């Protein structure tokens, strides 16, 4: 029987290789969504977008060489799969239309279900044709960049070299993350960022505040419902948050906007979340009046902070929460320093962009 299985594999190869060629190495792997024998759905690109490589095993249950390599695939799955270092997924794709689910578990005494814990997919539809499969087994590794490479050796060292050599090392590639891996070449979405805390002092009466923090919930009601000192908050459009009525006409607190706030006594507001770095974020301005935030950590003179707007002839006046003003036409800086936590009113001649220096640079 083993001899016949091998013969069938060889006959399948010779009967099909004339009609189409194997998909070339370096090609973009076609995406697919298929369901395994346990009812779990698998989308190829979803795995790749997680920074994982994917090993595709196109096989037939009756194929002797396919049966012989099942233990090698299982070993690779335990090493690189979810129970190993989780850098790769393995999918077994039974590519014969006539194969039943029961045969994928046990075929003529070969216990597929017992020797494999990686997902086995029957009813693969047109996927084998999209990959131009000419013989069994056909094995490919697909890298996170969607490029495909045929493999003929399932030894652990060979697979490791393909994953980490051809495909790169999946991990966190962002230097600002606390789990940054300088050796990583593929970002797998695992980056963990430190939480920042900003404590803003709000005086009694009218003032303007802003924050350089963003979190999952920046809704005004969620952040101010417990602040009995707050009477009203307004954005640059005149939309309001009314604490007494629990009315939120603004929506969410945005890191690039400032807000006028009225209180019945001094208080403080604490925000916790991700810091919106000025190297990666700018302030969009509309024509006319704006209320903006200041997202740098260090204070700087108003005339220097707004210099790019002045040079463009776009700034008419800037005011802080006390009414102190910077008048560029008169070269008068009544504000002094621009500071984090404060918001500022700007009147512009036309829409534009305010760009802050990074925290490492000085005005």
Along the 363 residues of the chain, how does pLDDT read in single tens digits? Answer: 333 344 444 444 333 333 345 788 989 999 999 999 999 999 999 999 888 899 999 999 999 999 999 999 999 999 989 999 888 999 999 999 999 999 999 999 999 999 999 999 999 999 999 999 999 999 999 998 899 999 988 888 878 887 777 787 777 888 878 888 887 777 777 788 888 999 999 999 999 999 999 998 999 999 998 899 999 999 999 999 998 898 999 999 999 999 999 999 999 999 999 999 999 999 999 999 999 999 999 999 999 999 999 999 999 999 999 999 999 999 999 999 999 999 999 999 999 999 999 999 999
Output the pLDDT for position 190: 78
Residue ranges of domains in the chain: 2-171, 195-363
What is the CATH number assigned to the segment(s) 2-171? Answer: 3.40.30.10
Record the pTM. 0.55
For β-strands 205-209 and 213-214, DSSP reports them as unpaired
d(CA 28, CA 147): 5
User: What is the chain's mean pLDDT, rounded?
Assistant: 90
Angle at 183 between CA 179 and CA 184, to 5 degrees: 70
Helix (H) or strand (E) holding 213: strand 213-214
């Amino acid at each position: 029987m083993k001899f016949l299985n091998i013969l069938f594999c060889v006959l399948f190869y010779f009967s099909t290789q004339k009609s189409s060629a194997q998909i070339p190495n370096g090609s973009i792997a076609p995406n697919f969504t298929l369901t395994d024998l346990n009812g779990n759905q698998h989308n190829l690109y979803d795995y790749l977008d997680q920074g994982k490589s994917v090993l595709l095993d196109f096989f037939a249950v009756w194929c002797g060489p396919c049966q012989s390599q099942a233990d090698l695939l299982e070993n690779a799955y335990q090493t690189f799969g979810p129970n190993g270092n989780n850098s790769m997924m393995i999918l077994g794709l039974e590519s014969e239309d006539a194969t039943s689910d029961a045969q994928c578990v046990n075929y003529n005494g070969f216990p597929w279900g017992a020797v494999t814990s990686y997902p086995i997919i029957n009813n693969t539809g047109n996927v084998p044709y999209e990959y131009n499969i000419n013989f069994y087994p056909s094995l490919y590794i697909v890298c996170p960049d969607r490029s495909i490479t045929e493999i003929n050796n399932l030894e652990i060292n060979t697979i490791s070299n393909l994953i980490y050599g051809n495909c790169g090392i999946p991990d966190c590639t962002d230097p600002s993350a606390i789990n940054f891996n300088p050796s990583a070449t593929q970002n797998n979405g695992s980056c963990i960022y430190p939480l920042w805390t900003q404590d803003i002092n709000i005086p009694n009466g009218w003032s303007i505040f802003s924050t350089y923090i963003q979190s999952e919930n920046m809704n005004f009601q969620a952040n101010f419902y417990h602040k009995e000192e707050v009477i009203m908050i307004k954005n640059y459009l005149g939309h309001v948050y009314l604490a007494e009525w629990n009315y939120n006409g603004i929506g969410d607190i945005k890191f690039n906007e400032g807000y006028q706030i009225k209180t019945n006594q001094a208080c403080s507001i604490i925000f916790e979340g991700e810091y919106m770095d000025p190297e990666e974020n700018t302030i969009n301005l509309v024509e006319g009046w704006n209320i903006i935030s200041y997202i740098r950590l260090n204070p700087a003179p108003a005339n220097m902070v707004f210099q790019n707007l002045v040079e463009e002839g776009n700034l008419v006046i800037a005011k802080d929460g006390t009414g102190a003003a910077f008048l560029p036409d008169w070269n008068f800086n009544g504000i002094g320093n621009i500071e984090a936590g404060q918001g500022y009113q700007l009147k512009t001649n036309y829409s534009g962009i305010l760009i802050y220096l990074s925290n490492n640079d000085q005005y």
